[in-house]
Every structure is written in C-alpha cells, then in structure tokens.
Structure 1
C-alpha cells in the first residue's frame, strides 16, 4: 500500500517510503534459500560421514577378529604338527577335518572382510563426492546470492543518497518537518 506522501510530502517520509520499498525488493530470499540448501547439504554430509565411520569400525572389528582367528589357527596347526611328529595317532583324520572346517570358516570370514572393505571404500568415495561437489556448489550459490544482495543494497543506498541530494538542491524542506535546508539555515544564522 503506497504511502500518501510519496511526491509532495516531507523528504524524510518520502525517503523512508522509498527505502522501505527498496528493502522489500532486495534479493534476500535467494540468500536465505542458498543458506538453507547449504545447511541441508551439511546435514546430509554429516549423516554420510557417520555411515562411513560405522563401516570403518565394522572393517576394523572384522580385521581384528580375523587376525586373532588366523593366529589361533596357526598355533593349533603348529601343535598338531608337533603331536604328529611325536605320536602317530589314529585321530589324525578327525583333527585334519576339524582344521579344514576352521580353514573354510577363516576363508569365509576373509571374504566377508573384503566385502566390508569394499563397502567402506564406496562410503569414502561418496563422502568425498558430497564434500567436493555438493559443498562447492552450495557455497558458490551462497556467495553469488550474497554478491547480488550486496550489489542491490549498494544501488539502493546510492539511489537514496541521490534522492536526498536532489531534494536539497530543489530547496525542499529538510528531513525534519519545519527544519531548515542549507539556504534557509545559512540565512537564519546570519551567514
């Protein structure tokens, strides 16, 4: 709704009205949208980094478990070989079957570890992609919108200054109604 003192009203009110209208035209919504987009990207990145860390812990746990089991299997094989050298038992076949089952289990565990390592690698790549592409694009959008906002603000300020200067040159009443402009103030003060 336009104010009643747009052209012939006191210059202060005209400037305030122009300022308000100019403020409403500033591209602040694009800045807000760009910032909201970056916040959304940061939240998504944080979730992705949590997934990556969970996968990393899973890989580390499986690696420790596999190393421990390999060491146990190695020690058991060593003991069995020592027993085979000293004793020729008839139970050797059952012990060999047990060792084969352990070896199969270790191989299954090793394959599972490789699958989990691959998943971790994929998580790392996704995190890097999100960081490089998403954040770079998001921040560039924020900076571009801030630049446009700054340009529009500067133009608004310059227009208001120009109006003020033109108003003074035209000899309008000063910004405070009943006050003096440059010419009347000088004559009242005896200058």
Structure 2
C-alpha cells in the first residue's frame, strides 16, 4: 500500500456501480469482524492467564517447594504466570482496535461518497437526455446546468479518490503497524516471562495478591 501513489477515478461513475458498492460493504464487514476477533483473542488470553494466576495464588501459603512439585507445580510457575498476567494488561492492544475502528470510519465515508456519486451521476445523465430532446432556445441554459452538475460530480469523485488512496494507504499502514508492535510486545513478554526465576513472594504479599485478584 505504501507504494500506491495514484488511482484513476473515471468520471463515468464506475466507482459507484453495484459491484464496487458491494465490495465496500464487504470490506467494512470484514474489518468489523477482524476487530471483534482480535478483541476476543486478547480477552481470552487475559482470562486464561488470570485464571491460572488465581489458582496458583490460592495455593496453601505454607506449602513447601517439594509439596508444590508433588502437585505438578513448579515454584517458578508462580513468578512466570504473575509476570505474564501483569504484562498482558500493558500490551498495546487498544492501538490495534483503535486503528481498525478508524479504518472502518474511512470505509463508511467512502460508502457515503459512492452513494453521492451515484445520485449525482443520475442527475447528469438525466440532463444529458433532456439536452437531446429540448429545442435550441432551452439548450444554452441546460448546458450551463450540465456544467454545474458535472463539476459537482467531479468534486465527489475527487473526494472518493482521496479516501481510496490517501485514506486507505494510511489506515492499512496504521492497522498492520499497530498489530506488528502488539505481537512484537507479546513475543517479548513471553520471552521475559520464560526467564523468570521462582522467587516466591512473601506470605503477606501472596495474600494481598489473592485479595486483589478476587476483586
């Protein structure tokens, strides 16, 4: 998308035909679905890790490392899960959902311009038919009206071009850029969490943690 510099927007209304309007609606639908699925992915990750953290935090404070291991729990899992849970809340997921939301706004603006272009093209076509039927005395006024309506059509088409090229180019870059940063941050979080030592917190710290999670 960053290599796209221009797009030809013909004045014959091909950008507002049925197939292009259907494509615009489909793009909007897919973006909304993408945003929903991404938000669901983040929520499920948080829910899973917090549930695991809650279970580990509620283990008997008095249990020794040997007892934890007998239950199949590595003491370092406590520190790993805690770091993982805290880190998930700090990931830049809102930048992704915000970028997609902004993209949807541009798609809807394009859809609105497509409707306007279609209406304006019908007006121009109607005047063209009248010009073919009317006599010479009325022709001058109709031609002036035709020039005015064609100018309006050109303005609408130019707005569509701006959205389709400049807007979409920017929005695609924002969406994929924010997603790249999100997953880079997640990969870094996983890497740091995996290197966490056991370092079991104190008894009071663990109880405080349990109370905070239960809230």
Q: Shift of residue 46 of structure 1?
A: 0.7
Q: Shift of residue 149 of structure 1?
A: 0.3
State which of 59, 71, 76 in structure 1 corresponds to 2:124.
59
Q: Shift of residue 157 of structure 1?
A: 1.2
Stretches (4+) displaced over 4 A? 2-5
Q: CA RMSD in A?
A: 2.5
Which SS does the other structure have where 1:25 is aligned?
Answer: coil
State which of 165, 186, 192 in structure 2 corresponds to 1:153.
186
Matched, 1:15 2:80: yes
Q: Structure 1: how far apart are the matches of 2:116 and 2:79?
A: 58
- Structure whose alpha-carbon radius of gyration is higher: 1
Which SS does the other structure have where 1:64 is aligned?
Answer: helix
Unaligned runs of 5+ in 1: 74-102, 173-191
Unaligned runs of 5+ in 2: 1-52, 58-63, 66-74, 201-215
Q: Structure 1: how far apart are the matches of 2:186 and 2:171?
A: 22
Matched, 1:129 2:162: yes
Q: Which residue of 2 aligns with 1:96?
A: none
Partners of 2:124 and 2:149 within 8 A in 1? yes
Deviations 1:120-171 (A, max 9, x none): 11111111011111111111111111111011011011112222xx55xx9x
- TM-score under structure 1 normalisation? 0.62
Q: Shift of residue 11 of structure 1?
A: 2.6
User: How many equivalent pairs are there?
Assistant: 132
